[in-house]
Structure 1
Amino acid sequence: MSESLYGEPLLAEVYDLFNAWGEDNDFYLGLCSPAVGSALDLGCGTGLPAAKMAEQAEVVGLDPASAMLDIARARSGGEQVAWRLADARDFELSRRFDLIYCAGHAFQSFLTETDRRAVFRQVRRHLARGGRFAFETRNPAARAWLRWENAAPRRAAHPRWGEVELSQSLLSERDGLVSYRSRYRFIDQDRALEADARLRFCGLAALRAELESEGLRVLALHGDWRGGEWREDSEEIILTLIRDGDQPVLG
């Protein structure tokens, strides 16, 4: 049993099969206006949005999993991004960015208030004046984890490993801390790998209190990737933040 869903090289290789470009990537790319000269991708993974954003701005991609960064470096456009092996809770880049974002629900890997506050502090330190920080987290009120147990397995073809099937099962949920298991079946190889992971589902009120205490404030709040108004039953909590006291000078 692998302890890390993202540290296993083979699982990193097939990650993009089940995480293709979608509305979430369109949303983050849309934040990269002509006024944005620099961007930082926290938890960049295999680097899909970072490589695309690097066509418009100077981009740094940061991730704690070397296997994921290996994929990012090798992808088309990857040579345009500065990739860094580091943790979003504790890093130093000695510069500031017009845009910082944390996509792909990577924010939910910060399991405790201490973790989240550390990220917010690092973001504030690395944001340029008037710069923005955007991230999303699944709304706990929507209880998305209940659908994982009965979801049909997904299949996709990998150019090297052939047909791959992904299924997920819920292990436990308590007070918004969800443990689940991902099983990857490599059909052509007659092989399977399993990895357990945990995610934190944090409500909006708690997030607001934490980020405001670390010197950030909400600039925009959405409930879906098309910019829809947030409601109590929205699937997503999509936040765009600015440093407290700054004015949003970037379009």
Structure 2
Amino acid sequence: MLSDADAAALYDLLNPWEPDRHAGDAFHHALVMGADSVLDVGCGTGAMLHRAREAGHRGRLVGLDPNRAALDRARRRTDVEWVAGSAADAAWDRAFDLAVMTGHAFQCLVSDQEVRASLTAIRTALRDGGRFAFETRHPQARAWDRWNAAEPTEVVDASGRTLRVLHRVESVHGDVVTFTETTHGPDGGVLRTDRCRLRFLDVPPLDDFLASAGLTVEARYGDWHHGPVTAASQEIVTVARRS
């Protein structure tokens, strides 16, 4: 079996934070390095903020996440503040120049209530004119269809085992997709199965939520190279400002 701590370590192997190699990581890294104070909402294992410190960021960096095992891993670096809680639990008032949600973490906000409460808390945490940057997969690209067709991802863990990670979609109801992530050991046995629900918001309802929370869209992109949102876009990348 994989413990929660094992799963957190596996996440880092599957999702390395590499601004030099991945355009999405580079996009957020540039924003973080240009802000004096940053709140990373859904920070996970803290890789983005770790990298920012290593790159010379001297301001305030705070990571917020409800996953205790991920935060334990993040706390290997002590020159960043780590706080347990969800986006809606953010209790700061005008404390940050920038808030970010990376890795499509925004899609974990499934209900209308979760989205509204989270956006309201994030806006409150921003200073006047502060910005919130995040991305969500564009529903028109139907990413979940590719998850079912994809071959398992193989990775070698710290103990030298070759693990295979497989995703399978269970259901699609409206704009909410439920799927499982199953990790298999070298012998093919199941080590862990996690179930997740993601919401795929299109641009109009997304902008309605932002406006209701007092956030104004400053920039909107359909890819990580600042291209516009088109009929072929797979991403909706948003930079919103506290208004």
| TM value normalised by structure 1 | 0.88
Displacement after TM superposition at 1:224 (Å)? 0.9
Counterpart-to-counterpart distance in 2, 1:65 and 1:102: 15
Within-5 A mapping of 1:1-251: 8-21=4-17, 22-34=22-34, 36-54=35-53, 55-56=56-57, 57-74=59-76, 78-94=77-93, 96-160=95-159, 162-187=161-186, 192-244=191-243
Counterpart-to-counterpart distance in 2, 1:95 and 1:243: 10
The code of the aligned residue for 1:169 comes to R
Which residue in 2 is equivalent to 1:247? Answer: none
The code of the aligned residue for 1:19 comes to N
Q: Would you say the 8 A contact 2:33–2:52 is kept in 1?
A: no
Counterpart-to-counterpart distance in 1, 2:79 and 2:164: 32
SS of the aligned residue for 2:78 comes to helix
The code of the aligned residue for 1:182 comes to E
Gaps of 5+ in 1: 245-251
Q: Would you say the 8 A contact 1:163–1:188 is kept in 2?
A: no
Higher RCO (C-alpha 8 Å, min separation 6):
1
SS of the aligned residue for 1:32 comes to helix
Identity %: 36
Displacement after TM superposition at 1:143 (Å)? 0.6
Displacement after TM superposition at 1:121 (Å)? 0.5
Q: How many residues align?
A: 236
SS of the aligned residue for 1:129 comes to strand
| TM value normalised by structure 2 | 0.91
After superposition, the Cα gap between the structure-2 partners of 1:33 and 1:44, relative to the gap in structure 1 and judged at 3 Å, is closer
What is the Cα-based RMSD across aligned positions, in Å? Answer: 2.0
What are the superposed Cα offsets for residues 98-152 of structure 1, whole Å, 9 maximum, x if unpaired? 1100001111010011111111111111111221110100011111001100101
SS of the aligned residue for 2:29 comes to helix
SS of the aligned residue for 1:89 comes to helix
Q: Would you say the 8 A contact 1:139–1:233 is kept in 2?
A: no
Displacement after TM superposition at 1:223 (Å)? 0.8
What are the superposed Cα offsets for residues 26-69 of structure 1, whole Å, 9 maximum, x if unpaired? 111111344x2110000000111111123313200000000111
Counterpart-to-counterpart distance in 2, 1:177 and 1:157: 32
SS of the aligned residue for 1:45 comes to coil
Displacement after TM superposition at 1:188 (Å)? 6.8
